Amino acid sequence: MRLTDWQLAFEAHLLNDAPAQDHGFAATLRGGPSLDVDTGLAIYHNAYRARLLDVLRHDFSAVRYWLGDDEFAALAGAYVRRYPSEHYSLRWLGERFATFILEHLAQEHGAPLAELARLEWAFTLAFDAPHGEPLTLADMAELPPQAWPGLQVAWVPSVQQLGCHFNSLAIWRAAKDNGDFPGSHAVEPAQTCLVWRHEQVCRYRTLEPAEASALTTMVTTGGCFAELCAQLAVTYAEGAPLQAVTWLKQWVQDGLLQYRAA
Amino acid sequence: MATSLPFLGYGLGLRNEYYEQILEQSPAVDWFEVISENYLVQGGKALYYLDAIAERYPLVMHGVSLSIGGPHALDFDYLKQIKQLAERIQPAWVSDHLCWSRGNAHQLHDLLPLPYTEESLYYVAGRVRQVQDVLQRPLVLENVSSYVRAKADEFCEWEFLNALAHLSGCQLLLDVNNVYVSARNHGFDPWTFICNLPPQSIRQLHLAGHRDYGDYVVDTHDHPVCDPVWALYQQTLAHIGPVSTLLERDDHFPPFQELLDELTKARQLGASALAGRALCA
Ligand SMILES: [Fe+2]
């Protein structure tokens, strides 16, 4: 048997649901004095599954908290069968877990569970995203008055924005606090939630609709500070610049923003 | 001889569980070994601590996903990232395992054994040379624990390691625990394995714990080092002289002081083995 064929047979053994019944591959192996081939193969087979399950349990601890260990293990097993790992780093194993949940489960259970999985994944993305160059209040203080109207900002690279149609944050918090499951229900209207990293700590918060809309103007669509003030004038009249500065200060303190590249 | 390779002393595997304590206590650890893949990221806590620890301690990079013997093409993008990380933290050397961890299509995330055949030997040696060309340094390869062997084997494992070092110029990371685990599982004499390796190629040792199931042993890195492995370690040092030694722990993390105590034991047993060697010389 050529090396490649032997390795493909080994791979097929690991990916099989149960240790292979077809002993063609086992016949190419030699056991030890008290470790037979089937036991040896089972050690590899179990280790493969256990390692992947461990990573998913860690990265999706709130989904596991909701489902319980057994149901989570079944879901995770189905996931790695459907989407075997393709990145050398296990850090990326869960990349398609939320998508898979939507494909795999009925809508009424799948939609809130997938949203929770997406929220947890957002934390993993924020955790090791590039640092960027977060603006500080000191930077703002040094900005000359004539530069304010044209000021343009962008998210720091770690910021993840999620639209939450369910009480996923409440479930996530209950999981972190090891509290009672709060039940799953829709929230109306949907909330915008930000997840990001500030000074090496992952943070999150939900946005009121007015603040979310201001961030869309200023950050997502790249409007300048003068445009934000003009938009706010509709609601806040002459108080618009003050409201704009208040929010901007908050966003800068939170470590959400950097200068928009020219 | 082994003494011509740099001797870093006694080190610990760097694990995130201990980042803060390392920076706060500056423990008497001579060096740290880092899992390369954990730091192939663009930012965040891991890189932050890595940079801080790199300023205070010598580091060695230890990879788990090179898959030097795998059936796939070498991942040059991965190698480029390894090289960039090496430029960032200036490790004393870069290691991975003599194994394969990726199949034809998928990542298998395990250190799978190779058949020890001439075909494997020339295949792996060619790939080692390619990796060394990219990294511009010798690759250090570790012997893995195994639970099956191929009937097709034409060499025993130490003969394969010897031939590979000779053909490719790679160096060896001798995991004493892995020798013990494989020796128990496959029924060979661990000392025959070790004393037949080329001493001048052994750059580093690993010490770790395992789980003993009676009929077989599984390499778990979640226990303290056991007595037969300590004995083998002393015998190894007495045979080849000072070699940089690293204590691995990857699960069931004890309080940091317990690992430091175990490292002290490695240091003391190492010193007495080396003193005995000097007397015999
Ligand atoms: Fe090891």
Judge if the upstream peptide bond of residue B138 is cis by omega within 30 degrees of 0: no
Nearest residue to B57 (alpha-carbon basis) of B29, B15, B85: B29
In chain A, the residue whose alpha carbon lies closest to the alpha carbon of B103 is A11
pLDDT tens per residue across span B231-275 = 999 999 999 999 999 999 988 899 999 999 999 999 999 999 999
Q: Give the pLDDT confidence score for residue A261 in this predicted structure.
A: 83
**DSSP SS3 for A145:** helix
Nearest residue to A115 (alpha-carbon basis) of A128, A129, A102, A125: A102
- Contact indicator for A192, A127 with CB cutoff of 8 Å: no
Q: Name the residue facing B123 among A3, A91, A157 (closest C-beta).
A: A3
In angstroms, the CA A155 to CA A213 distance is 15
User: Which residues of chain A have a CB within 8 Å of the CB of B108?
Assistant: 11, 14, 48, 85
Rounded to 5 degrees, φ, ψ at B149 are -130, 150
Q: Name the residue facing A8 among B103, B112, B214 (closest C-beta).
A: B103
Rounded to 5 degrees, φ, ψ at B110 are -140, 160
Amino acid residing at B117: T
Query: What residues have CB less than 8 Å from A222, skipping those under 6 apart?
Result: A152, A154, A260
Residues with CB under 5 A from ligand 1 (ion): B 175, 206
| Burial state string for A225-252 with b = 16 or more CB within 10 A and e = fewer than 16 | bebbbebbeeeeeeebbebbeebbeebb
The DSSP bridge pattern shows strands B100-102 and B107-112 to be antiparallel
**What would you report as the CA-atom Rg of chain B, rounded to the nearest whole angstrom?**
18
Instruction: Tell whether A158 is within 8 A of chain B (Cβ).
Output: yes
Query: What residues have CB less than 8 Å from B125, skipping those under 6 apart?
Result: B163, B164, B167, B168
Nearest residue to A167 (alpha-carbon basis) of A151, A182, A155: A182
Element of type H or E holding A198: strand A186-198
In angstroms, the CA A106 to CA A108 distance is 6
Judge if the upstream peptide bond of residue A189 is cis by omega within 30 degrees of 0: yes
* Chain B contacts in chain A segment 15-34 (CB below 8 A): 15, 28-34
In angstroms, the CA B69 to CA B81 distance is 19
In angstroms, the CA B173 to CA B206 distance is 7
- Contact indicator for B221, B175 with CB cutoff of 8 Å: no
- Residue keyed to tokens 């001493």: B199
Instruction: Tell whether B80 is within 8 A of chain A (Cβ).
Output: no
Q: Name the residue facing A29 among B45, B103, B148 (closest C-beta).
A: B148
Q: Give the pLDDT confidence score for residue B3 in this predicted structure.
A: 41
Query: How far, in Å, is the centroid of ligand 1 from the Cα of B247?
Result: 9
pLDDT tens per residue across span A210-257 = 999 999 999 999 999 999 999 999 999 999 999 999 999 999 999 999
- Contact indicator for B63, B79 with CB cutoff of 8 Å: no
In angstroms, the CA B256 to CA B245 distance is 18
Instruction: Tell whether B46 is within 8 A of chain A (Cβ).
Output: yes
Residue A75: how many CB atoms within 10 A of its CB?
A: 21
Reported ipTM: 0.94
In angstroms, the CA A229 to CA B118 distance is 74
In chain A, the residue whose alpha carbon lies closest to the alpha carbon of B46 is A128
pLDDT tens per residue across span A67-103 = 999 999 999 999 999 999 999 999 999 999 999 999 9
Q: Give the pLDDT confidence score for residue B4 in this predicted structure.
A: 58
Query: What residues have CB less than 8 Å from B213, skipping those under 6 apart?
Result: none
Q: Give the pLDDT confidence score for residue A22 in this predicted structure.
A: 60
In angstroms, the CA B146 to CA A52 distance is 19
Which domains are present in chain A?
1-104 (no CATH), 130-262 (3.90.930.50)
- Confidence band of A132 (pLDDT split at 50, 70, 90): very high
Residue boundaries of the structural domains of chain B: 10-280
Q: Give the pLDDT confidence score for residue B250 in this predicted structure.
A: 86
* Contact yes or no for A39 and B216 at CB 8 A: yes
Query: What residues have CB less than 8 Å from A237, skipping those under 6 apart?
Result: none
- Total residues belonging to chain B: 281
Q: Does position B280 have pLDDT exceeding 70, yes or no?
A: no
Residue A54: how many CB atoms within 10 A of its CB?
A: 14
Element of type H or E holding B53: helix B45-54
* CATH 3.20.20.150 corresponds to the domain B10-280: yes
Q: Give the pLDDT confidence score for residue B276 in this predicted structure.
A: 85
Interface test with A, best of B101, B148, B250 (most A CBs within 10 A): B148
**Average pLDDT score, chain B:** 95
Query: How far, in Å, is the centroid of ligand 1 from the Cα of B208?
Result: 7
The DSSP bridge pattern shows strands B100-102 and B31-35 to be unpaired
Q: Give the pLDDT confidence score for residue B277 in this predicted structure.
A: 82
Amino acid residing at B55: E
List C-alpha distances in Å: B147 to A47, A89, A207, B269.
Answer: 12, 24, 54, 29
Rounded to 5 degrees, φ, ψ at B60 are -130, 140
Task: State CA A75 to chain mean position distance.
Answer: 18
